[in-house]
Chain A
Amino acid sequence: MSVLVYVENIQGQFKKSAFEVVSYAKAIADQLNTNLVALSIGQTSTDELSNLGKYGASKVLNVGSLNAFDSQAYASIIAEASQKEGADVVVMANSFSGKGLSPRVAVKLKAGLVAGAVELPQIAGGKFSVKKTAYSGKAFAQVSLSSAVKVIALNANAYQVKDGGSAASVADFQAANAVSKVKVKEVVRATDKISLPEAELVVSAGRGMKGPENWNLVENLADALGAATACSKPVSDAGWRPHEEHVGQTGIAVSPNLYIAIGISGAIQHLAGVSSSKTIVVINKDPEAPFFKVADYGIVGDAMEVLPKLTEAVKAYKGQS
């Protein structure tokens, strides 16, 4: 009996979302009175691996031989490690690659899957259920899993990182024939950008910006805050901004600590994608904009005038602290 957590690295480094997943898996291991085994695939330093012990892993398995991501090969390694470790619960991130992995791992292990988990499982009286987002952020569903092995994919920003543990032991894991049938030709890293699904602060803008030429105002505010930039659907449809910045029901769902919406009216489809944000600030010149109804702070004003003032105020605040 154990809990196994697959931890994603980006170019050999673990990031905050990885620590969230390990902390979450550790809490489940505590619920089940068992230990947590972490699994990493791809080249990573031993220090980086043993550091996962800080977040609760007692042992870290490392498959250093495979670097390029392929869901089929990775899923077979994760399933194999889970079986060898006798894992009852397998945890991973509900990230872009996690979305390709967790379903395959679940089928391999004939395990029930909750993808998009937002809370710790409820375990009582032989029942095991997990809360997840549903209807594109318009609701939550408590999903019960009846299989012997359970797979959970955790949403970003849904669980607080908890540290305090000590270094974990690191061991090489020899996986059987994990051959990738997918050939990676090219990788483009946007290293200067903050990843939107994981961002803690998001500055998002809509048609109220009047045109792509005014986006420097949005970017200046995002830079001052250290925030990711996002946009509404009409803006990405018009080609002002790339599709990967589109937040909403048919785009990316975000759950940052702070979501600043500028010149976005607040259509129900957009609200679905931002409803789990902790604090929402809405800037709109129309006092009747529906977005104000779900905002924590509202400013009625022209984005072109408000944005530079807000950027200056943020810079002044950052300057003092």
Chain B
Amino acid sequence: MKILVCISNVPDTTTKITFTSNNTEFNTAGVQYILNPYDEIALSRAIELCEGGKGTVTVINVGEASTEPTIRKALAIGADDAVRINAAPRDAYFVAYQIAEYAKEQGFDMILAGRESIDHNGAQVPAMIAEFLDIPSISVIKKLDFDGSTATINREIEGGKEVVEVSAPFVASCAEGVAEWKIPNMRGIMSARTKPLQVIEAKNIDQLSAVEVYETPAPRSAVKMVDAADMTGLVNLLHTEAKVI
């Protein structure tokens, strides 16, 4: 079994988001980067499925050399090898195309990713890869089992859940529930340094979207405190002042 896991390098979840150059660029000063938490769930499940010599896990990232610490983290958690497409990720279409171009000759049984990246929140890359490769994709999955040829997947739908079956190859984007986060052990960290990391140059493709400008949400007006004994007063405020009930 061969599994490809797409990983992205994102600002740590505690980051206060600010922008520079007239709000056109993300301010990277002092920002810690991490492996996108949802991608880590996908990676953990891929490693579990391949445990006991049942297969290999390759991680792939589209990014410049600065993302290598995050790639090494994925290798420390337990991926067997890694690929970095050497380019700044321009948009989801660009990233998905690069990954699809790499994956198309490799015979992966499944391509996993996180449900979305916590920076751009596009949730676009996994389904785009599937469309480039013309294979099925299942988004926002909660559970994944694989018998070697067919996967049984629980996915979230509007107002409920669904159990689906799909034959390999396919793409799935993973949410909480698929696996627990794994903490790399000392052996993993040591071996990550020597595991193969292949660097490939990006292919050309048109850029279809670009961020013009960023903004941060407008600050809220000062909080109005209500006495804990006066819940009728709160309900009145919600009705007459906030007009939300």
Q: Which residues of A contact B (CB under 8 A)?
A: 8, 10, 17, 69-72, 75, 95-97, 99-104, 106-108, 110-116, 129, 133-147, 181-191, 193, 195, 198, 201, 225, 236, 243-244, 246, 249-251, 253, 257-258, 268-269, 275-276, 278-282, 292-302, 305-306, 309-310, 312-314, 316-317
Contacts and interface: CB of A to CB of B under 8 A. Distances in A.
Contacts of B126: 103
Contacts of A280: 220
A111 B91 CA distance: 12
B166 A183 contact: yes
A146 B206 CA distance: 10
Interface string B197-228: 00000000011111111111100110111111
Given A69-B157, A141-B214, A143-B210, A313 B162 contact: no
Contacts of A257: 244
B119 to A, nearest CB: 6
A306 B228 contact: yes
A298 B221 CA distance: 12
Nearest to A279: B242
Interface string B3-36: 0000000010110110100000010000000000
A99 B139 contact: yes
Contacts of A112: 91, 93, 208-209
Interface in B143-179: 152, 155-167, 173, 175-177
B2 to A, nearest CB: 19
A135 B76 CA distance: 26
Given A112-B93, A310-B234, A316-B232, A183 B164 contact: yes
28 contacts: A10-B159, A96-B156, A99-B140, A100-B173, A101-B127, A102-B127, A103-B125, A103-B131, A107-B128, A134-B119, A134-B211, A135-B26, A143-B209, A143-B211, A146-B208, A147-B208, A182-B164, A182-B165, A183-B165, A244-B142, A258-B242, A279-B238, A296-B223, A297-B224, A297-B226, A297-B237, A298-B226, A306-B231
B50 interface: no
Contacts of B187: none
Contact of B207 (A100, A146, A198): A146
Given A139-B17, A278-B244, A296 B224 contact: yes
Given A96-B139, A136-B121, A299-B234, 15 more contacts: A99-B123, A99-B127, A103-B127, A104-B137, A113-B209, A138-B217, A141-B212, A142-B211, A144-B211, A186-B162, A187-B160, A244-B156, A296-B221, A309-B228, A317-B235
A106 B93 contact: yes
A103 B209 contact: no
A4 B159 CA distance: 25
B217 A103 contact: no
B231 A310 contact: yes
A96 to B, nearest CB: 5
A181 B167 contact: yes
A250 B130 contact: no
Nearest to B219: A294
B42 to A, nearest CB: 13
B111 interface: no
Contact of B137 (A71, A135, A145): A71
A261 to B, nearest CB: 12
A28 B234 CA distance: 39
B101 to A, nearest CB: 13
Residue with the highest number of chain B CB atoms closer than 10 Å, among A75, A139, A198, A305 = A139
Interface string B76-114: 000000000000000111001000000000000000000
A268 B229 contact: no
Nearest to B118: A136
B239 interface: yes
Nearest to A105: B131
B245 interface: yes
A116 B210 contact: no
Contacts of A251: 176
A95 B158 contact: yes
A231 to B, nearest CB: 12
Contact of A114 (B209, B214, B237, B239): B209
Nearest to A73: B136
Contacts of B96: 103, 107
Nearest to B125: A103
Contacts of B37: 250
B109 to A, nearest CB: 15
B92 A103 contact: yes
B127 A243 contact: no
A295 B223 contact: yes
A186 B163 contact: yes
A128 to B, nearest CB: 10
A281 B214 CA distance: 28
A142 B213 contact: yes
Contacts of B162: 69, 184, 186-188
B124 A115 contact: yes
B138 interface: yes
